[in-house]
Structure 1
Amino acid sequence: MSLPPLVPPPLLDNRPESVAQLFLARVEATPDRVAYRYPAPVDEHAADGAPGAEQWRSLTWGQAAERVTRIAAGLMAVGILPEERVAIASATRVEWILADLGIMCAGAAVTTVYPSTNADETAYILADSGSRAIVLEDEKQLEKVLSVLDQTPELKTVVVIDGAGAPEDAAVDVLSLAELEQRGAAHLKEHPDAVRDAVAAIRRDQLATLIYTSGTTGRPKGVRLVHDCWAYEAAAQTDTGLLTEEDVQYLWLPLSHVFGKTLTSGHIQLGNVTAVDGRIDRIIHNLPVIQPTYMAAAPRIFEKVYNGIAQKARAEGGAKYRIFLWAAQVARDYAKARQESAVATGTASVPFGLQLKHAIADKLVYAKIRAAFGGRIRACVSGSASLAPEIGFFFSGAGVHILEGYGLTETSAGSTVNPGEDYRVGTVGRPLPGTEVRIAEDGEILLRGPGVMRGYHNKPEQTAEVLEPDGWFHTGDIGELDKDGFLKITDRKKDMFKTSGGKYVAPSEVEGRFKAICPFVSNILVIGNGRNYCTALITLDEPAILQWAEGQGLGGKPYADVVTSERAHQLIDGFVQKLNADLQRWQTIKKFSILPRDLDVEHGELTPSLKVKRPVVERENADLIESMYAGAREA
């Protein structure tokens, strides 16, 4: 028998019809307040200019509105009509947000395309969505799109952010973003109210965004998210109280992904500052410059930070490494004690002796960790995959509060989130106001609310498989609700497997535990469906393992040689045995293989949001997997 739905708080009232309306209202309310900060090249001819130098610049809400309005009017000038699709293929940058808002303010709908998407799949997305125009980041993206024009018959206009103009033989109209804005300015002279009229005409259930899910097999599906999805997300995120007008957000997540996209809605509702730079290799450099108070990230980023801290301490050796290990355990014990006390009594308290240890560890270790995050971080939100609880407890005890949330592309990302200081590590929090959660008889999580999609584009049969007529969406995730309404994700329904001995294994649980104890791991896949025992495919973090190799007589050797060496296997085997000591017998890893390279997006093994595509990895390594079961007696 399924549990009754958790009764949500009253649905948020008085939200606007669209984020486009919300944006114009924000501009009118605070035109001179800084909206965005972004990196820009320093003029080489300036006094402090140097090749490659950058400086952070600002856009007020009023300045952003001028550009957004010109972009919207420019799209109208080239013939884009309400609800027609305009794609964006660019890395995260301030122009992505301006283009997105411009498209919505024109009454059109945005099709998101990852810049890493290959030409064939880009053509499919553009054709399936019926996109009439596309905004591209640079000439590399332009070359890709021009190569598939024969497969995208409805595409008529291409706009390039960093580009000089059209190739002479282009079969479509190619403009720079500056040229589009110039056309928009001219259009506004003749039709000064064109954009405001278009925004006023937007209906709540009008298509706003098509986001194509990264399918592990077959073609991706276009998720239809209407204007009310984003207006609801903006209001619900603000209602949680997690953010204030004074917060500085660091936004680097892919805006083609629903997690990054939904953050832009909440930002407009609040009117706080958002620093935008999607270059992952600049995160560590940017943090002390931006000094954010808030940042969202995928778990992989926190895992890499944790592994980097642990490996650095290990490399220093001796007393420093012992201090780190002691401080790491104190952090976990402190965070767990606070959480257990809060759950049991409603008050977070810690034994006096543990408080003293924590105070010492804070001066020796934790303060440096917080400084690495810029020194002002109040909270981080983690989503798109599960965060290993031991890593969550470590950062919590160190004063970097990681609030896990939960949602899918099909629910506009935000469905649940941990409630600020009352967060519980190991859960994804409570439902956002207006969202309902129900656990089905088989343990599957069902969601209902304004953030849920209106279906898959051009796929009514697949829509019917996951979306019930009364609005309940089948997530495909397995979970449970505790007595206080906190949701815990136990695994993906399709990822759980049963051994040949009849025992169920949740691979993400085992993988999360391993990531918490092994500072060298990058990715791990636990395998064992229908098998007599579990095995694992493991990849190692390149900087961490190469640093380790220096002290093992392997310095200077290529990554592939290091990770496939007997010494590396012995190193990882020690962590596997430590993992197995805390697992049920049927969960233990009997054999493992270290892959000669890490998983990546380019080879199709990771989604752009860094989630592992299990079927792809298992298929590519089928022979290796079989070798780990060779000669084994199957039950």
Structure 2
Amino acid sequence: MNDGPDQLVPVNNYITWKVDGAVKLRVERSGFASEEPISIPSLMNRAVEKGPDNPALIVRDPKTNEEKIWTWKGYRNDVRNVAKAFIYYGLERFNSVCILGFNSPEWVISDVAAIHAGGTATGIYPTNGPEACEYILKDSNCAILVVEDDNQLNKVWNIVKDSPQIKKIIQYSGKVMKPGVVYWDDCVKHGEVLPDDDLQERLRGMSINQVCTLIYTSGTTGNPKGVMLSQDAITWTAWISCKMHKFNMAGNDERILSYLPLSHIAGNLIDIWSMMICAGTTYFADKNVLKSTLKENLHWCKPTRFFGVPRVWEKMMEKMLELGRSTKGLKKVIATKAKKAGLEHHLNHNGGKKFEIFQKVVFSAVKVGLGFDQCRGFYSGAAPLANGTFRYFLSLDIKILELYGLSETCGPLTFQLPHQFRENSVGVVVDAVKTKLERSSDPEVEAGEIWGWGRNIMMGYLNRQDATQKDMTDDGWFKTGDLGEIDRDGFHFIVGREKDLIITAGGENVAPALIQDKVQEELPIIAHALVLGDKQKFISCFLTLAVEVNPDTLEPSRRLTPAAIDWCRSIGSTANTVTDVLKGPDSRVMRGIQAGIDRSNKKAVSNASRIQKWMILPQDFSVPGGELGPTLKVKRQYITKRYQKSIEKIYDL
């Protein structure tokens, strides 16, 4: 095979777990799945042709606000130079380039350069601890390690300094403190003077249906698995996502704010590959973006598309609600009427002239204030978006379209579209992708498991024949592990995750996600609700109180949020902290929570789904505490193990 990068290895298998393996592409004769496969190097060349001097990557100094801009031509030059340096440093075909650090142009360039050099690009969450980092470095066969700064390198220094498989360490920020570490600028300059011969040889040996990227699952139960994504899975999924959401694919005016981890499939697909599809611009937020500077970054970027995980949308809503509580008089009346008209327009198509007026007077001002005045698409994914959050933004004429998918589906499997939209659903399948509901292998599970098939499906799990064959069929269907329903119009509804499904002692199936959402909607004082009751006589629930979070450490404090305090005042409580609530405990708060639980229980789908007992945990869930993963998903197994004695107390075990 010497005709790359746009060649295909002739194979008939749809799955593999070998790093040098290849898979058959699910290319159809017509429709969107018939789109000609394209390699990542060719996709980059196409983006450069659209506008070589247009901005591709922009970052700014947080102290001076001075911008540094890579044009598409400059971006490609740096990719090629870094790829040549990687090869020179010892990167062999299918070796991994691991990238450990916060989002930056250097992160993206390293990723794309690793693929150009014939390696596999592998992101590591910057919040990962030493053990998690070590596992990925070894499992991916890392040859080149790119780190942000000395703080990140310190986590793995004892692992990598004497590791013969790691040929070179490159640092892209801060001062180099460790011996043998190459600074980023020196890496680029080294590549500039190297001939193109070795790089061209790697490109000629490249195939579209082989692995180019490893996305490691968050590993909420045991070690993470390396999801193998082919070049076609990435380029086709990015293309179909942009096409279905009507991105300007002619190039040059789409803008994205990069702030979610690039090691996660969502950030990776949107910030790198979708922008390459439409030759748009990726702006890189500063490191405090999720602590305090999101609004400032949005005003700088003026994104045309914005993707947030549910917690980002929730935090934004909380700040807006806090501001709204200080609004009085006529402004308050107008705002209330505007929100009502917004919901009527979007849910019942009945806003009329009122909506048009409020759109010009109120909603446009809200979007300007948020930095969304040029935004054409709002999206949420990685975890379910609470209906209350969705409706709040919808009332402000911000329609958040929910996407459903996994790392194994290269991001989206289904998504909502402005013209194909149904409340509480995760939308319809991506065009040219198939889904079906299959009976679970567990005979006690009644709901159907969602399976997916298409060009976006992974090749398999790296070095894991067992896991690959467990989660995929030989004819290419991927078993998501998520339980769902599909209505007659093709809209998908997620009931829960199979491994999270609770089966009571009476044999009733209970989906905890739906119950948890209802509790949080009823009770502003609650940050997290975790339903319990597997193999028990009744359903119970852990609750955590909504508290302020330390912006530097992300650790929860003891002080309640303004919204939680307002709720306490509304029921006659003077509580300001978790301690105030739990000492005694505060009878008014306890009665208020029980009333909210009662309201939630009235909406239960069955008697078995009603919460009989609940317990407030002394601390909210967090990433530092280990209860939340990097994408803020709740680690059910970790929590139930940690609070096993509390569970035993609830059930008198």
Cα offset, 1:398, TM superposition: 1.9
Q: Output the CA distance in 2 between the equivalents of 1:81 and 1:628.
A: 56
Q: What does 1:88-487 correspond to in 2, within 5 Å?
A: 88-149=99-160, 152-165=163-176, 167-168=178-179, 173-187=180-194, 191-192=195-196, 194-244=198-248, 245=251, 246-263=253-270, 264-277=272-285, 279-281=289-291, 282-314=293-325, 331-338=342-349, 350=350, 354-355=351-352, 358=355, 366-367=363-364, 369-374=366-371, 375-442=373-440, 443-487=448-492
Q: What does 1:554-565 correspond to in 2, within 5 Å?
A: 561=580
Change in 2 beyond 3 A, CA 1:151/1:609: farther
The DSSP-based 3-state class of the residue aligned with 2:631 is coil
Q: Is the Cα–Cα contact under 8 Å of residues 259 and 413 in structure 1 kept in the other structure?
A: yes
Cα offset, 1:212, TM superposition: 1.4
Q: Is the Cα–Cα contact under 8 Å of residues 16 and 22 in structure 1 kept in the other structure?
A: no
Change in 2 beyond 3 A, CA 1:8/1:299: farther
Aligned to 1:618: 640
The DSSP-based 3-state class of the residue aligned with 2:69 is strand
Q: Output the CA distance in 2 between the equivalents of 1:216 and 1:269.
A: 32
Task: Identify the match of residue 601 of structure 2 among 572, 580, 587.
Answer: 580
Cα offset, 1:177, TM superposition: 1.0
Q: Output the CA distance in 2 between the equivalents of 1:361 and 1:34.
A: 35
Q: Is the Cα–Cα contact under 8 Å of residues 8 and 435 in structure 1 kept in the other structure?
A: no
The CA deviation string for residues 431-460 of structure 1, in whole angstroms up to 9 with x for no partner, is 223321111134111111122111111110
Q: Any stretches of 5+ residues in structure 2 without a counterpart?
A: 1-27, 441-447, 549-558
Tell me whether 325-334 or 589-598 shows the greater mean CA deviation: 325-334
Q: Is the Cα–Cα contact under 8 Å of residues 378 and 401 in structure 1 kept in the other structure?
A: no
Letter in 1 for 2:520: K
Change in 2 beyond 3 A, CA 1:554/1:67: farther
Aligned to 2:496: 491
Q: Does 1:524 align with 2:526?
A: no
Letter in 1 for 2:472: L
Q: Is the Cα–Cα contact under 8 Å of residues 50 and 279 in structure 2 kept in the other structure?
A: no
Letter in 2 for 1:253: L
Q: Output the CA distance in 2 between the equivalents of 1:522 and 1:8.
A: 49
Letter in 2 for 1:540: L
The CA deviation string for residues 38-97 of structure 1, in whole angstroms up to 9 with x for no partner, is 2224xxxxxxxxxx3434443211121222222111112212122211101111222211
Letter in 2 for 1:137: E
Change in 2 beyond 3 A, CA 1:163/1:370: closer
Q: Is the Cα–Cα contact under 8 Å of residues 242 and 419 in structure 1 kept in the other structure?
A: no
Q: Output the CA distance in 2 between the equivalents of 1:308 and 1:319.
A: 21
Change in 2 beyond 3 A, CA 1:534/1:306: farther
Q: Output the CA distance in 1 between the equivalents of 2:619 and 2:66.
A: 35
Q: Output the CA distance in 1 between the equivalents of 2:206 and 2:100.
A: 24
Task: Identify the match of residue 601 of structure 1 among 610, 617, 623.
Answer: 623
Cα offset, 1:527, TM superposition: 1.5
Change in 2 beyond 3 A, CA 1:247/1:540: farther
Q: Is the Cα–Cα contact under 8 Å of residues 211 and 257 in structure 1 kept in the other structure?
A: yes
The DSSP-based 3-state class of the residue aligned with 2:426 is coil
Change in 2 beyond 3 A, CA 1:625/1:583: same
Change in 2 beyond 3 A, CA 1:519/1:377: farther
Q: Output the CA distance in 1 between the equivalents of 2:57 and 2:277.
A: 14
The DSSP-based 3-state class of the residue aligned with 1:141 is helix
Q: Output the CA distance in 2 between the equivalents of 1:462 and 1:382.
A: 28
Cα offset, 1:399, TM superposition: 1.1
Q: Output the CA distance in 2 between the equivalents of 1:329 and 1:588.
A: 31
Identity %: 28
Q: Is the Cα–Cα contact under 8 Å of residues 426 and 488 in structure 1 kept in the other structure?
A: yes
Q: Is the Cα–Cα contact under 8 Å of residues 403 and 427 in structure 2 kept in the other structure?
A: yes
Tell me whether 550-559 or 239-248 shows the greater mean CA deviation: 550-559
Q: Is the Cα–Cα contact under 8 Å of residues 84 and 196 in structure 2 kept in the other structure?
A: no
Q: Output the CA distance in 1 between the equivalents of 2:651 and 2:353.
A: 50
Instruction: Provide the alpha-carbon RMSD of the alignment.
Output: 2.9
Q: Does 1:23 align with 2:30?
A: no
Q: Output the CA distance in 1 between the equivalents of 2:303 and 2:651.
A: 49
Letter in 2 for 1:596: P
TM-score (norm 2): 0.84
Q: Any stretches of 5+ residues in structure 1 without a counterpart?
A: 1-6, 42-51, 339-349
The DSSP-based 3-state class of the residue aligned with 1:494 is helix
Cα offset, 1:470, TM superposition: 0.2
The CA deviation string for residues 149-186 of structure 1, in whole angstroms up to 9 with x for no partner, is 37844112111111433524xxxx41111121121112
Cα offset, 1:600, TM superposition: 1.5
The DSSP-based 3-state class of the residue aligned with 1:147 is helix
Q: Is the Cα–Cα contact under 8 Å of residues 8 and 434 in structure 1 kept in the other structure?
A: no
The DSSP-based 3-state class of the residue aligned with 2:403 is strand
Q: Output the CA distance in 2 between the equivalents of 1:262 and 1:241.
A: 14
Cα offset, 1:561, TM superposition: 4.7
The DSSP-based 3-state class of the residue aligned with 2:461 is coil
Change in 2 beyond 3 A, CA 1:579/1:314: farther
Tell me whether 377-386 or 419-428 shows the greater mean CA deviation: 419-428
Tell me whether 440-449 or 572-581 shows the greater mean CA deviation: 572-581
Q: Output the CA distance in 1 between the equivalents of 2:217 and 2:633.
A: 12
Q: Is the Cα–Cα contact under 8 Å of residues 575 and 581 in structure 2 kept in the other structure?
A: no
Q: Output the CA distance in 2 between the equivalents of 1:427 and 1:563.
A: 37
Q: Is the Cα–Cα contact under 8 Å of residues 331 and 394 in structure 1 kept in the other structure?
A: no
